[in-house]
């Protein structure tokens, strides 16, 4: 009988220990567990109740750097296809231009889910950095296209390697408190819309510079030989500046915080 009593007592103590919460309540709020990456993120949000303007600025300019190359080519795409001499008839230029215009989104369609999974596993920041880097490289190469298939390949690769939209939305709500999440997501949509407005204006204004501004650009210059390179170069330079600034972008996702905690414990 005494042995059964002690067994029951030990089971009761074990059940009591297993019911202790990880986050202990205090008079002043919640006690965060040291070494817990989720607690580290929640603590950072609790310590900064205001709007994270600097993080929101990163979200805004990063989204803009991707939206500009998407839309800037449409004002001159018809003339670019004409100058590449891929269409045998004038009526066929629109047909070939459609494939170039769609190749970016087709590449994104194929890889968007993969980039989302990668952002969950390795963190938002590496995926964002690589996406902006792909814009710098392949948007520049698109402006230097000398064949129709080079134009399609560069646009396709820029879309396939640019998994930005999902991770940047996830990042925007991870850097702020719940009451600011709607504002964070609206910044992504607003920046995207502004990019779709400025992009076509920029492309139409800067394309064919040797013909429009012969006093500034010679027909034998780089921009005379590649008449559609200037708008691509401008958007790529902007993306390069954004990429450089992203090196100091705050990290808030669990994987990266966990990695920093591991490094601090070594």
Q: Is residue 115 situated within a structural domain?
A: yes
Q: For the segment 13-45, what is each residue's pLDDT rounded down to a tens digit? A: 555 455 444 444 443 455 555 655 556 666 666
Question: Does 116 reside within a domain?
Answer: yes
> How do residues 98-126 score in pLDDT, each as one tens digit?
999 999 999 999 999 999 999 988 889 99
Residue 265 vs residue 178, higher pLDDT: 178
Question: Contact 64/70 with Cβ under 8 angstroms?
Answer: no
CA distance 150 to 153: 5
190 pLDDT more than 70: yes
- Phi and psi torsions of 26, nearest 5°: -125, 170
The answer to whether position 211 is within a domain reads yes
Do 183 and 51 touch, CB atoms closer than 8 A? yes
Q: Is residue 203 part of a domain?
A: yes
d(CA 191, CA 129): 18
Handedness of CA 191, 242, 137, 146 (dihedral sign): positive
CA dihedral 18, 23, 29, 32 (to 10 degrees): 150
The Cα–Cα gap between 110 and 166 comes to 14
Range of the domain at 201: 48-252
Q: What is the mean pLDDT of residues 64-76?
A: 93
pLDDT confidence bin for 149, thresholds 50/70/90: very high
The model's confidence at residue 147, banded by pLDDT at 50, 70 and 90, is very high
Condensed to tens digits (0 to 9), the pLDDT of residues 73-95 reads 999 999 999 999 999 899 999 99
Tokens of 78: 């018809």
Domain count across the chain: 1
Query: Is 50 exceeded by the pLDDT of residue 127?
Result: yes
Tell me, what's the pLDDT at 173?
Answer: 87
186 assigned to some structural domain: yes
pLDDT surpasses 80 at 138: yes
pLDDT of 42: 62
- Residue 128's pLDDT band, with cuts at 50, 70 and 90, is very high
Residue 239 resides in a domain: yes
Q: Is residue 29 part of a domain?
A: no
pLDDT by residue (tens digit) across 206-254?
A: 999 999 999 999 888 999 999 999 999 999 999 999 999 999 998 765 5
Residue 28 inside a domain? The answer is no
pLDDT, position 20: 47
CATH code of the domain containing 139: 1.20.1250.20
155-188 pLDDT, tens per residue? 999 999 999 999 999 999 888 888 888 999 999 9
The number of C-alpha atoms within 13 Å of 127 and in the hemisphere containing its C-beta is 28
């Amino acid at each position: 009988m005494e042995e059964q009593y002690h067994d029951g007592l030990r089971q009761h103590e074990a059940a009591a220990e297993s019911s202790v919460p990880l986050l202990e309540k205090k008079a002043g709020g919640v006690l965060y567990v040291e070494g817990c990456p989720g607690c580290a993120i929640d603590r950072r949000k609790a310590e900064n109740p205001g709007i994270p303007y600097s993080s929101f600025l990163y979200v805004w300019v990063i989204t803009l750097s991707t939206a500009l190359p998407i839309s800037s080519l449409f004002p001159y795409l018809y003339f670019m296809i004409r100058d590449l001499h891929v269409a045998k008839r004038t009526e066929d230029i629109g047909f070939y231009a459609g494939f170039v215009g769609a190749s970016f989104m087709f590449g994104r369609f194929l890889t968007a889910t993969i980039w989302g999974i990668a952002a969950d596993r390795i963190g938002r920041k590496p995926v964002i950095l690589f996406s902006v880097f792909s814009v710098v490289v392949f948007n520049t190469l698109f402006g230097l296209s000398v064949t129709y298939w080079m134009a399609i390949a560069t646009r396709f690769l820029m879309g396939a390697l640019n998994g930005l939209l999902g991770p940047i939305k996830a990042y925007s709500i991870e850097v702020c408190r719940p009451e600011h999440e709607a504002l964070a997501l609206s910044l992504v949509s607003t920046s995207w819309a502004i990019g779709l407005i400025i992009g076509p204006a920029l492309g139409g204004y800067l394309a064919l510079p040797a013909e429009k501004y012969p006093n500034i650009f010679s027909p034998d210059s780089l921009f005379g030989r590649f008449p559609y390179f200037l708008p691509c170069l401008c958007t790529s330079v902007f993306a390069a500046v954004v990429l450089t600034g992203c090196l100091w972008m705050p990290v808030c996702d669990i994987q990266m915080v966990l990695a920093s905690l591991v490094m601090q414990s070594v």
